[in-house]
């Protein structure tokens, strides 16, 4: 895509969605993602985060409104062309077939006739699995499996990553490692990221957050302006306080249970 | 390491084909054949080996495709009711006196039955503009029970000798094999195998899940439909050739994954070759063990296949479930 283009990479304009005959899951949603932006999509269970990401990935189609990718309607892209521009990372990774790590990472090249720059070995190096290339993925731990699929996504080379709760089921160590890896990719490769999450403490560290409730935006912007006690109570239906640690990190304190 | 395995795989398969052709109740030396031996080879053994090969290939490849499409390592083409539907159609054809196409009538009825059941499974598995693995599997299991029940009902109500023969034949019998059905069946097997090989990368992606397949640039529902059609073509052709032969569709993909890996680009053709070789071997065993009596091939595949499958199940590195 031309580097002269300075508009948003992804734009939702008045997007609504519902399954036929069912109630609206996403309601008149408008937002845009700029090049290199890192957005946290925060909301309670069932607030529509996953649906928004699936709409953005082209897997679901809006019932009303429009979505553009690089200023062109998302639905107008050929599947393979779209796959070179955005990749979607689902919440659940359940693979019960013993593909080797190398085989899975290599699948990231499927959209291409001529392979792009990065090789499987380089991608594995980036996620720290270089020594596991020939191991069946079914022999790896949950955290390692997630890194295999991250390597696949890296080699796919799309500039926009849609990540659906990538931190779910990860130890805090891997959560931090994963977020560091994403930051490195943003800095070195200029990737843009939308990440669905429900951990408010992690959202507080993002540059930009969108707070979702019932498929609509409750607030969008920097965490300081969006993630106030009042708004969080609206979104999650629980009373919280936002504190600052000695090191300047914001964190939440909730009611005693 | 893996290339050595490829060579061994190829050598064992080739050896089985040669054995199936030249060994048996009467051993034939290909370099010194008399007229009768030539007759046996070309009119009896060769068509039989070709039928076994086609059926085994179709079932092995169908199993590999279906296990991927349903994302279930326990799937077997017959679990979807395709075999019981085919048996029922063949029995109904015999009962209603459907001999219009001569000796091809029963296989034709079986093929039509198998195709109709595949369509029916597809219809029940369809929701929100696509085929869904769980729906397909449940629809297939339900239809399988239904058709088996109707077939049992017909069998218990009827004393027709033809019906009994058809039911026996449906249990997997290659002794009637001749050249008649080979040309048309091979068209379907080759077409199904062709589609499966052509879309084998898409199958790899589907195994990772619909979301990853979409993200990697595949039209998920179109790919699933193509793969389902390929599986249905091959299974229907196989059932019409020699009835229901169990275990090949389930077992071959597991053996190939263990020996050569899980990549569908290798798994599909190798499961086809392994299936062909396995059925040739089972048939050879079936006709050599107690001549002139012949054991139905379906029984032999199950007798060899089931213990081996149980052995694999005990080795935790084979079945990753």
**Region B222-239 average pLDDT:** 89
Q: Does A75 touch chain B (CB under 8 A)?
A: no
Which domains can be identified in chain A, with CATH numbers?
Answer: 10-225 (3.40.50.300)
| Across B210-239, average pLDDT | 91
| Euclidean distance between CA atoms B215 and A89, whole angstroms | 8
**What is the rounded average pLDDT of the residues A137-165?**
88
| B274 has a pLDDT exceeding 70 | yes
- At CA B246, angle to CA B241 and CA B247, rounded to 5? 130
Taking CA–CA distances from B267, the nearest residue in chain A reads: A99
pLDDT tens per residue, range B65-95: 999 998 888 888 888 888 788 888 877 877 7
pLDDT score, position A17: 94
Token representation of residue B226: 């193509």
Q: What is the mean pLDDT of residues A139-150?
A: 86
Task: Compute the distance between CA of residue B231 and CA of residue B180 in angstroms, rounded to an integer.
Answer: 23
B2-18+44-314 folds as: ABC transporter involved in vitamin B12 uptake, BtuC (1.10.3470)
Give per-residue pLDDT as tens, A177-188.
888 888 888 888
Nearest to B211 among A59, A82, A138 (CB): A59
Q: Are B240 and B86 in contact (CB under 8 A)?
A: yes
Query: What would the pLDDT profile of A53-84 be if each residue is shown by its tens digit?
Result: 999 999 999 999 999 999 999 999 999 999 99
User: What share of chain B has pLDDT > 70, as a percent?
Assistant: 91
Q: Which residues of A touch B262 (CB under 8 A)?
A: 97-100, 103, 136
pLDDT in tens, B12-66: 888 988 888 888 777 888 788 788 888 888 888 889 999 999 999 999 999 999 9
Helix H or strand E encompassing B126: strand B126-127
pLDDT in tens, B190-205: 999 999 999 999 999 9
Q: Taking the complete model, does pTM exceed 0.90, yes or no?
A: no
Give residue A1's pLDDT. 46
CA–CA separation, A227 and A248 (whole Å):
16
Alpha-helical runs (H) found in B158-246: 161-170, 182-198, 200-207, 210-215, 220-242
Mean pLDDT of A133-144: 88
Q: Is the Cβ–Cβ distance between B166 and B91 less than 8 Å?
A: yes
What pLDDT score does B113 carry? 86
Residues of chain A contacting residue B205, judged by C-beta atoms under 8 Å apart: 107, 110
Cβ burial of B240 (10 Å; 0-12, 13-18, 19+) is buried
Do B58 and B245 meet the contact criterion of CB atoms below 8 Å apart? Answer: no
* Average pLDDT of chain A to the nearest whole number: 87
């Amino acid at each position: 895509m031309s580097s002269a283009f300075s508009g948003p990479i992804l734009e939702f304009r008045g997007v609504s969605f519902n399954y036929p005959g069912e109630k609206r899951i996403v309601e008149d949603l408008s937002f845009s993602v700029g090049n290199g932006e890192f957005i946290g999509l925060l909301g309670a269970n069932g607030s529509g985060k996953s649906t928004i990401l699936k709409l953005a990935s082209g897997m679901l189609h809006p019932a009303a409104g429009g979505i553009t990718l690089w200023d062109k309607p998302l639905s107008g892209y050929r599947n393979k062309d779209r796959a070179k521009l955005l990749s979607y990372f689902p919440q659940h990774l359940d693979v019960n077939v013993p593909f080797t790590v190398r085989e899975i990472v290599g699948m990231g090249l499927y959209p291409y006739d001529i392979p792009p720059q990065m090789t499987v070995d380089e991608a594995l190096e980036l996620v720290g699995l270089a020594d596991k290339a020939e191991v069946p993925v079914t022999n790896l731990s949950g955290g390692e499996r997630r890194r295999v699929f991250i390597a696949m996504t890296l080699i796919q080379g799309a500039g926009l990553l849609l990540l659906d709760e990538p931190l779910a089921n990860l130890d805090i160590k891997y959560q931090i490692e994963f977020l560091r890896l994403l930051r490195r990719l943003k800095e070195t490769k200029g990737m843009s990221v939308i990440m669905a999450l429900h951990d408010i403490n992690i959202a507080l560290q993002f540059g930009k957050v969108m707070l979702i409730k019932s498929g609509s935006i409750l607030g969008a912007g920097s965490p300081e302006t969006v993630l106030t006690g009042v708004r969080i109570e609206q979104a999650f239906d629980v009373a919280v306080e936002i504190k600052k640690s000695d090191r300047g990190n914001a964190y939440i304190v909730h009611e005693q249970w | 390491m893996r290339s050595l395995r490829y060579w061994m795989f190829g050598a064992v398969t080739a050896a089985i084909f040669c054995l199936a052709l030249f060994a048996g109740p009467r051993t034939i030396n290909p370099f010194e054949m008399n007229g009768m031996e030539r007759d046996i080879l070309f009119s009896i053994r060769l068509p039989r080996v070709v039928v076994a090969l086609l059926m085994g290939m179709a079932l092995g490849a169908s199993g590999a495709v279906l296990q991927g499409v349903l994302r279930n390592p326990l799937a077997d083409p017959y679990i979807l009711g395709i075999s019981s539907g085919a048996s029922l159609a063949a029995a109904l054809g015999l009962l209603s006196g459907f001999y219009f196409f001569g000796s091809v009538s029963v296989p034709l009825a079986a093929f039509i039955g198998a195709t109709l059941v595949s369509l029916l499974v597809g219809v029940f598995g369809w929701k929100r503009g696509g085929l869904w693995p769980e729906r397909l599997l449940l629809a297939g299991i339900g239809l399988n029970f239904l058709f088996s029940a109707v077939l049992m009902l017909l069998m218990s109500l009827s004393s027709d000798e033809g019906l009994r023969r058809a039911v026996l034949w449906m249990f997997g019998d290659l002794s009637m094999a001749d050249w008649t059905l080979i040309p048309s069946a091979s068209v379907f097997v080759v077409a199904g195998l062709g589609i499966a090989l052509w879309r084998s990368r898409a199958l790899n992606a589907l195994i990772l899940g619909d979301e990853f397949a979409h993200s990697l640039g595949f039209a998920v529902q179109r790919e699933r439909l193509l793969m389902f059609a390929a599986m249905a073509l091959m299974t229907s052709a196989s059932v019409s050739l020699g009835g229901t032969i169990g275990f090949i569709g389930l077992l071959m993909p597991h053996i190939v994954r263990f020996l050569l890996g899980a990549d569908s680009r290798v798994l599909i053709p190798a499961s086809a070759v392994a299936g062909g070789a396995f059925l040739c071997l089972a048939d050879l065993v079936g006709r050599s063990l107690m001549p002139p009596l012949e054991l139905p091939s379906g029984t032999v595949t199950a007798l060899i296949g089931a213990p081996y499958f149980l052995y694999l199940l005990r080795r935790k590195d084979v079945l990753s479930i």
